[in-house]
Amino acid sequence: MRGFLASSIGVVTAAALALPVALPTPALAEASPVTPAGTTQSLPLVPLGPSADRTPGLPGTSTSPRLPEAQGLAAREVKTFSLVGVVWDDAAAELHGRVQVRTRSVKTSAWSGWQDVETHNSEHAADPDAVERASGRVRGATAPLWVGESDGVEVRVQAEPAASSPRAPSRLPTGMRIELVDPGAEVPGAGPDGKNGGPLGDDKGELGAPGLTMEMAEASAANLPHAELGANEIIALDKADSTADAIYASEGELSAAAAPFIGPRPRIVTRKGWGADEGLREKGFVYTNTVKAAFVHHSASGNNYACKDAPAVLRSLYRYHVLSSGWRDFGYNFAVDKCGTVYEGRAGGVSKPVLGAHTMGFNTDSMGVAVLGTYTSTAPPAAAVDAIARLTAWKLGLFGRDPRGKTTLKSGGGNLYAKGTNVKMNVISGHRDGFATECPGKKLYGRLPTARTSSARLQGRP
């Protein structure tokens, strides 16, 4: 048994949509160097419309209606990208307004209609006092939007009054930029690229394996003994083998109370399997003490992707989290696509209590699961809800948690609960339970009771 387990593993007119044949191209210096792991083009937004000519203090300004501030970019040709988002300098500054983009398809050369980008306002982030948030690199950011392979973009951001201060001037955060992310090749880092380091070669050391960089080996080794070093997936196990695997991996430290209620381990595509560039993230891993709760999210990146494109979506989200938003790694511990495939998220080991950056205020002693897509008005596929149940039955079972139960978490600070507040919530909660947000979307949130029941049944609970 041990030998087997250790080795298996819009509103616009038609005229407004018409574009000139020649589009301005941004300076090449604004794009990151081309690497096998993709690129990020970061373009500063500029004032748009009458607000661009408004000068404070001019006669009549105080009695004239104040137009809201607007920024954006005119339609332009850019290098190929597939995901967009807007970032700004101060991670603590909220964007109160509407963000819209339209893009030009590489395949058809047709321009899309205007699409809304969820303003997001940093509720998916490290806790306020976390080292990750105090790094000096963290920025405010919208949710990212997957648009598919595109080579043209136009963006507009319109300020709106905050709900808490409806009479206050409508202002936008400073330093706003649009990030255009290309996910790159499917398997980055297969050879030297000047960033990840070279392959380790055929001489296997403690973390060595043929064709793996040191960073790739470090991330892969965190999943031993559930999968071989360099594995693209961690295979599914039935309930009995999952329990044996957990006991073996914990070296006998798994509690007797937890062991009977470990659900069957689902198949999990590893970071190597979806092509994570391990040279992007910070080195090493950060852990919490345990996993008391699972927070369910949607990525709010839209539903316009095929399941075969999910790895590319993940690579794009990863670059957006690390390079654009300034996080240490991918924010969620796991991701699930609309076909029900489970993916390893933040590095550190799928069975371990890895500290994520998914639910600001409640990242400690919890895990975050993001369903790729937007589920505010669209119902999540049954396969995705089932995957949430399967994943939580296994992972929560490792830590003795009943998916139908309640748990208490201490707030690290947020917009619902003050820092230090002990909050009782469901073991499987939605993001909105810990932060004032629409996430994981009304339709997905409404399916959580089903996920709780299914997860407990998979654990074998009466």
Categorize the per-residue pLDDT at 249 as very low, low, confident or very high, splitting at 50, 70 and 90: confident
pTM of the full predicted structure?
Answer: 0.85
Angstrom distance (rounded) from CA 253 to CA 239 = 19
pLDDT digits (tens, 9 = 90+) for 3-50: 333 333 333 333 333 333 344 433 333 333 334 469 999 999 999 975
Lookup: tokens for 296: 């369910």
The pLDDT of residue 130 is 79
Report which residue type is found at 40: T
pLDDT band at 123 (very low <50, low <70, confident <90, very high): low
Q: Is the dihedral of CA 410, 413, 414, 417 positive or negative?
A: positive
Sequence-distant (6+) residues with CB within 8 A of 379 are 443, 447
126 pLDDT above the threshold of 90: no
Q: What is the mean pLDDT of the chain?
A: 84
pLDDT at 121 over 80: no
Q: What does the pLDDT read at residue 135? A: 75
Give the residue from 335, 345, 329 showing the smallest Cα distance to 370: 335
Chain segment 398-442, per-residue pLDDT in tens: 999 999 999 999 988 877 788 899 999 999 999 999 888 889 999
pLDDT band at 67 (very low <50, low <70, confident <90, very high): low
Q: What is the pLDDT of residue 36?
A: 47
- How confident is the model at residue 456, as a pLDDT? 98
pLDDT 10s digits, 329-362: 999 999 999 999 999 999 999 999 999 999 888 9
Mean pLDDT confidence for 90-115? 95
Q: Which CATH class is domain 224-459?
A: alpha beta
Q: What is the pLDDT of residue 150?
A: 98
Domain ranges (residues) in the chain: 224-459
Q: Long-range contacts: 102-105, Cβ < 8 Å, 24+?
A: 102/10, 102/75, 102/153, 102/154, 103/147, 103/150, 103/152, 103/153, 103/154, 104/77, 104/150, 104/151, 104/152, 104/153, 105/148, 105/149, 105/150
Please give the Cα distance from 331 to 325 (Å, whole number): 10
Residue with tokens 């670059």: 319
pLDDT given at position 251: 76
Please, what is the angle between helix 382-398 and helix 239-249, to 10°?
40
Tell me the per-residue pLDDT of 172-195, one tens digit each, with 9 for 90 and over: 999 999 999 999 976 544 433 333
What is the mean predicted confidence (pLDDT) over 136-144? Answer: 91
- pLDDT value of position 27: 36
- Summarised one tens digit per residue, pLDDT across range 291-326 is 999 999 999 999 999 999 999 999 999 999 999 999
- Percent of the chain whose pLDDT exceeds 70: 80
End-to-end CA distance of the chain: 28
61 vs 277 pLDDT, higher one: 277
Share of the chain above pLDDT 90, in %: 66
Q: Is the pLDDT of residue 162 over 90?
A: no
pLDDT value of residue 187: 55
